[in-house]
């Protein structure tokens, strides 16, 4: 199957959106961990002022300094963790007061079950939370996040992303799948930096996007490395959309018009969003339609 690109063209397929968001509580100011000063004092009971005793005092002083520094590091880590969860507690209580309790009927309804209309596959990058940038409210989107927003080919073996797809499409009956790529993706950079076999967990996972890397190397060889990475970030979304159509139950629903498949690219450098939709025909033809650019 040819890899889809977010450009207007036609290729062959396999044979076989709410934008309003409630305001988040202001982030709590985290206190800087204060340095903990302290000294280890050694009381020497002997009244002798001999040279050997002076040397002993000197050694104790040096050791005490080292122990103080070690305590400073440990205590600073403890304070940072405490401040983190103090801040999270404030945010949670604010959420409960201003969001949960003010919309109690909605949350009581969600407690009985979920019926999201869209599944979102996004990167785990902390800068690209889909609910934040696209304003999804609780119950609206079934969200799966992984490194580089990838979806393996159907025949590649089990994974948590595949399990999520099966649940969302066959159990929750979502009507849309949106794959969101983004700028400055570390997973794509790792993919583009690979040399030969890469045995780490990261390398094994991002190799799912190897077709995107190959197409980037072929189509953008004249660009510098950073520009190639940006090209691959979009190309990987297209490869993921192609991989989605290798799942028989996704292909069947897309072909029958029950499921729409969309690609998206979020550039957090200038805060823009590009979106496009696959047009899947009954004869297996696949093209891109309804491409839009939000800025």
- Binding site residue list for Zn(2+): 123, 125, 182, 185
Q: How far apart are CA 140 and CA 117, in angstroms?
A: 6
| The pair of three-digit structure tokens given for residue 165, joined into one six-digit string | 């797809």
DSSP code for 168: I
Question: Is the Cβ–Cβ distance between 169 and 253 less than 8 Å?
Answer: yes
Give 181's contacts (C-beta < 8 A, 6+ positions apart).
123, 148, 149, 188, 233, 234, 236, 237, 263, 264, 265, 266
Helical ranges in the chain per DSSP H: 51-95, 104-110, 130-134, 160-166, 186-193, 201-206, 210-219, 225-244, 248-255
Radius of gyration of the chain (CA): 27
Q: How far is residue 51 CA from its own chain's centroid?
A: 63
**Binding residue positions:** 123, 125, 182, 185
């Amino acid at each position: 199957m040819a890899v889809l690109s977010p450009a207007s063209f036609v290729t062959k397929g396999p044979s076989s959106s709410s934008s309003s968001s409630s305001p988040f509580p202001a982030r709590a100011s985290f206190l800087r961990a204060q340095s903990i000063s302290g000294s280890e004092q050694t009381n020497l009971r002997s009244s002798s002022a001999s040279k050997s005793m002076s040397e002993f005092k000197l050694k104790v002083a040096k050791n005490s300094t080292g122990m103080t520094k070690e305590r400073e590091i440990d205590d600073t880590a403890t304070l940072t963790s405490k401040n983190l969860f103090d801040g999270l507690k404030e945010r949670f209580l604010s959420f409960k007061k201003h969001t949960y309790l003010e919309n109690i009927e909605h949350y009581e309804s969600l407690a009985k079950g979920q019926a999201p209309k869209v599944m979102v596959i996004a990167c785990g990058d902390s800068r690209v939370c889909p609910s934040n940038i696209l304003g999804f409210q609780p119950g609206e989107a079934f969200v799966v996040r992984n490194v580089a927003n990838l979806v393996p080919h159907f025949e590649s073996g089990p994974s948590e992303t595949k399990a999520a797809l099966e649940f969302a499409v066959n159990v929750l009956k979502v009507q849309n799948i949106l794959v969101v790529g983004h700028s400055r993706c570390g997973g794509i950079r790792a993919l583009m930096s690979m040399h030969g076999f890469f045995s780490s967990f990261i390398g094994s996972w991002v190799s799912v996007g190897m077709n995107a890397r190959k197409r980037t190397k072929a189509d953008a060889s004249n660009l510098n490395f950073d520009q190639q990475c940006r090209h691959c970030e979009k190309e990987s979304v297209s490869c993921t959309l192609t991989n989605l159509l290798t799942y028989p139950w996704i292909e069947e629903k897309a072909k029958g018009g029950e499921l729409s498949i969309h690609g998206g690219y979020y550039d957090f450098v200038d805060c823009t969003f590009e979106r496009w939709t696959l047009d899947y025909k009954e004869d297996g033809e696949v093209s891109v339609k309804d491409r839009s650019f939000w800025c």
